[in-house]
Amino acid sequence: MLLYEGAMEFSAIYKMKVGPEWRTYNCHRKDVVEEGATDVNEKRSSSELRVEREKVFFKAKGGEITIINDDFLTTNTIPPDSIDLIVTSPPYNVDIHYESFRDDIPYERYLEFTKKWLRKALRLVKPDGRMCLNIPLDKSKGRREEGFQSVYADILTIAKEVGWKYFSTIIWNESNISRRTAWGSWRSASAPYVIAPVEVIVVLYRNRWKKTSGSGISDITREEFIEWTNGIWTFSGESRKRIGHPAPFPLELPKRCIKLFSFVGDVVLDPFLGSGTTLIACALLGRRGIGVEIDRNYCELAKNRLIKEGNILQTKLK
């Protein structure tokens, strides 16, 4: 099965215009890009076009599935007002050992980062665009001096501040995960810990909830619709070891979000792609998918998973 063509390897020093100023970059890349890949904004100059094209790590299905190796905060590869649905799980700042960045920054800085990416994400979605944001309810581990943090409440407040509108919260009951690492004070009211073994999926939208853009074709079954519109979802988490990434979500999560909240043929974005799970769901469900991932090794992992598990030219996910 030929999924891609045109492997290229090169070293170059190039200049790129970032805002008003020109910056110099040194680049060595060995990319695999489908021939004729053209996902960038056509109004840009040819030099900008070339640089951004280089950030496209992988394309498949005639350009319907794209992995971009870049920092979501600064990437220019996705046109504004172009995304129907974002499905993502950002870094949680709980000291997970990723390859390319620190996941244990001070909480205030983490919230600043959150504000930046939420603002950028809002610019990229269509007026009736939506976002399913998988985050923890709270944070009970990490830097001692900061104590526990109400992550869900804080992120939702920031999302509304930057302009997202709130629709609903789905509770994901990760049935196979035990979050219990400590009791606090055992059988004593002195300082007991209370830990909810769940995460949340916050559902947000840009301007209006009623979706008018897109094909209008839904592929969700009667049973799925009845079950998934009940906002408590119970399914297992994904094994880090099996996937080879420190924080993957299971395929079931993007699959449900995509079938419930997007039409067939819609454009789905995951700005923190990780091991590529959202794009696998897109490939299996006939959605166009874009994933941005800062770490090149995770892009490679996502590409390999897409080829193996994305079943790109074969059966559709039921």
Which residues lie near ligand SAM (CB under 6 A)?
71-73, 89, 91, 98, 100-101, 245, 247-249, 272, 274-275, 277, 292-295, 298
| Residue with Cβ nearer ligand SAM (70 or 266) | 70
277-285 vs 252-261: helix axis angle to the nearest 10? 50
- Kindly provide the b/e burial profile for residues 299-314, where b requires at least 16 CB atoms within 10 angstroms of the residue's own CB: bbbbbebbbebbebee
Instruction: Give me the residues paired with residue 234 across strands.
Output: 173
| Residue with Cβ nearer ligand SAM (222 or 242) | 242
Q: For the chain, how far is it from start to end, CA to CA, in angstroms?
A: 22
| Residue with Cβ nearer ligand SAM (73 or 177) | 73
Angle at 107 between CA 103 and CA 108, to 5 degrees: 125
Q: Least Å distance between CB 275 and ligand SAM?
A: 3
CB count within 10 Å of CB 96 equals 14
| Residue with Cβ nearer ligand SAM (135 or 159) | 135
Q: Least Å distance between CB 68 and ligand SAM?
A: 9
Task: Look at the block and give the residue holding tokens 């905060």.
Answer: 73
Q: Least Å distance between CB 228 and ligand SAM?
A: 19
- Residue 94: which of 81, 83, 84, 107 has the closest Cα? 107
Residue nearest to ligand SAM (CB): 274
| Residue with Cβ nearer ligand SAM (244 or 265) | 244
| Residue with Cβ nearer ligand SAM (5 or 95) | 95
Q: Least Å distance between CB 79 and ligand SAM?
A: 18
Q: Least Å distance between CB 108 and ligand SAM?
A: 17
Q: Least Å distance between CB 53 and ligand SAM?
A: 18
